[in-house]
Amino acid sequence: MSLPTREEAWKLVCEWIQSPNLRKHALAVEAAMRAYARRFGEDEELWGITGLVHDLDYERFPNMDDQEKGHPRTALRLFREWGWPEELIEAVAGHAPFMGVPRRTLLAKTLFAVDELTGLITAVALVRPDKDIRSVKIKSIKKKWKDKRFAAGVNRADIELGAQELGIDLWEHVGVVLEAMQSIAEDLELDGRLATK
């Protein structure tokens, strides 16, 4: 089965996703997946592209209760039609716990582990006066983690479970994802440009 190029995958993301925030989420997850691929000695292209396209249909089909089209079912169907690797398809299915697909591969476990966490880290960067992810420290994230009202939509239990499935300490995991996101601060527009002058 053939993997799309990074350029082809990004073109699809731009075609399917209009929300700038959802596109940035895709980029953040891609960066985290590439970081983990390097750490684990895995295929960086496969891992990065899996991260990039994991929410491809979310904007068009957000109703996850829709058993036919709801996210990520439409995307999974398309990935199969396009002949994409089964490992990518299984990982995208596994990142959505309600699908009931077991996360058997390291790729699937990693995608699940980084998905929610990128949202929390983004929220922490956005409440900083400088709006610069590069100045975010793990201790800032720990402090916000404890405040359940902060980024209340982020499922902390899923983040903890993801780190556990990877066999990595939670805060080491946070560090890996933070560093990956810091490396693409400009793409995420978390490079200080949003700070009020």
Sorting pLDDT into bands at 50, 70 and 90, what band is 181?
Answer: very high
Is residue 63 a part of any domain in this protein? yes
CATH code of the domain containing 26: 1.10.3210
Mind listing the pLDDT tens digit for each residue in 118-171? 999 999 999 999 999 999 999 999 999 999 999 999 999 999 999 999 999 999
In this structure, is residue 195 part of a structural domain?
no
The answer as to whether 196 is a domain residue is no
Count of domains observed in the chain: 1
Prediction pTM value: 0.96
Q: Which residues constitute the domain of residue 53?
A: 6-182
- 187 occurs within a structural domain: no
pLDDT average, residue stretch 74-79: 96
Establish if 192 belongs to a structural domain.
no
Residue 1: the pLDDT is 64
* Adjacent-strand bridge partners of 132: 191
pLDDT-derived band of residue 197, with 50, 70 and 90 as boundaries? Answer: low
Report pLDDT digits (tens) over 3-36.
Answer: 999 999 999 999 999 999 999 999 999 999 999 9
